[in-house]
Amino acid sequence: MRVVLASTSPFRRQLLEKLGIPFETFSPRVDESRFTGEPASDLVERLAEAKARAAGSAFPDGLIIGSDQVASIGDEVLGKPGNRENAIAQLTAASGKTVRFHTGLCLYNAASGTCRTVVEPFDVCFRTLDSEQISRYVDREQPFNCAGSFKSEGYGITLFSALHGRDPNTLIGLPLIGLVEMLAAEGLALP
């Protein structure tokens, strides 16, 4: 089966490489705007599926993987900060709190039309951080393209007191445990 990752994220590509299966990548063109009042889990599930389906015409025989992630503090959804000021504001809001990451995963079999989706939650408990710690972190890591304004696979680990979730890969952006289960359901058993 032809496996396709519908993402340009280097982090997702590195995670998928862990599975040791050959795959191609595709850059999906999907409007990632949130609908008014849309819960974070619904948003990431919808976008993961949209990204996977967007690759369907280019790969009509593919098993296409789509994924999307947002963070939330309570009902407030945190996206990618985009700049230093927004990253500092997000980390200030997260200080001393638990941030929930919602990662949507979709495996779309373009040949059969089968679409499997799941939303994996992952909780990050932040230490209480002062403004100097936050500024130092942001200046060192520059996490402007990361939901929640940190890179857990990098220096971001210094910000946390605890992590809770089924699969640590979820926090980086691709729930591999869930993906392996979906791939097995499509006849691609690993290992």
Active site residues: 68
| Distance in angstroms (rounded) separating the CA atoms of residues 52 and 58 | 11
Angle at Cα 34 formed by Cα 44 and Cα 12, nearest 5°? 35
Distance of CA 79 to the CA centre of its chain: 11
| Distance in angstroms (rounded) separating the CA atoms of residues 139 and 84 | 8
Residue with token string 């599926």? 49
